[in-house]
Amino acid sequence: MENYNLLVTFHPNQAGLAEREVRNRIEEAGGTVEDVERSNVRGVFCVKVAGNPKEIVTEIRSQFRDYPEMLSHTYHWVPVDVWVDANDEDMIDAVNSAAEGIGEHESWMMHVHKRQHPKHSEELMLTLTDRIQKGRVDLKHPEKIIAVEVLGDRAAISLLTREEVIDVNKLRLEAGLTVMA
């Protein structure tokens, strides 16, 4: 997983359509797909793109505003800054490193998706946010998002802006459209 810099979720029964969508959207955004691999967790692709995955996701998100039907087989697109072991110590270190990119007056939130990990989500979030002393927490309109994607024994950690992550259902709601099942 270490070489993959983008995670994309999809319905497990639509893997073929979802992979085609991932490849097409990345190419349309000016990126190049080097590899797409199913992760050890059903419904999650690990994608390796050439270039900056944050810029690619930002461009896809921008295009989505005009063409919301372009994302019909994928759900979340999350760029990855670093992979670590999914133990408290390594994740805390990675989250604290990511938090260094939060300005003193910036708002932030943590976004945690955990899959196949024994710790309860709320407990994990409290453990990871405990030492962050920068900025202010804003769960509705944060300027920065610390994304934590746990896939079994590995975790992807990123510091993102709202424009650098895609939640298809949230964007559909903002556009006044119905959400996907």
Q: How far is CA 32 from the centre of its chain?
A: 18
Give the span between the Cα atoms of 35 and 23, in whole angstroms.
9
Q: Matching CATH topology for 6-79 and 82-160? A: no
In this structure, what is the dihedral angle of CA atoms 89, 95, 100, 101, given to the nearest 10 degrees?
A: 160
The H or E element that residue 63 is part of is helix 53-66
Give the span between the Cα atoms of 68 and 79, in whole angstroms.
20
Domain ranges of the chain: 6-79, 82-160
Q: Taking a C-beta distance cutoff of 8 angstroms, is the pair 7, 49 a contact?
A: no
> Is 3.30.2130.30 the CATH classification of the domain at 82-160?
yes
- The verdict on pTM exceeding 0.85 is yes
CATH class assigned to 6-79: alpha beta
Q: Encode the chain (181 residues) as per-residue pLDDT tens digits.
A: 678 999 999 999 999 999 999 999 999 999 999 999 999 899 999 999 998 999 999 999 999 988 988 999 999 999 999 999 999 999 999 999 999 999 999 999 999 998 887 787 888 888 999 889 888 999 999 999 999 999 999 999 999 999 999 999 888 888 777 766 5
Give the span between the Cα atoms of 108 and 144, in whole angstroms.
5
